[in-house]
Amino acid sequence: METWEQLLVGLIAILVLVFFLPGVKATLERSKQAEKDWPGLLIPMAFVVGLIIFVIMLLR
């Protein structure tokens, strides 16, 4: 990769960080105050893991 391409990629990365950082900070603050919903995460994940295990058993 040429030097000017590396500089351009670095500049784009810095601009993305500057652009998205305030939104990320606000989102993290809201998530600290939000109600926790672990069953809403764990039940679908358990379903997916079970489905993957089932498919692996079928393919053996």
Distances in Å between the Cα of 52 and the Cα atoms of 34, 56, 58, 59 are 31, 6, 10, 11
The mean pLDDT value for 8-18 works out to 95
Sorting pLDDT into bands at 50, 70 and 90, what band is 35?
confident
Per domain, the residue ranges of the chain are 3-59
DSSP secondary structure, 1-58, as one string: --HHHHHHHHHHHHHHHHHHHHHHHHHHHHHHHSPP-HHHHHHHHHHHHHHHHHHHHH
pLDDT at 1: 78
Note if the pTM is more than 0.75.
Answer: no
Look at the chain and count its residues. 60
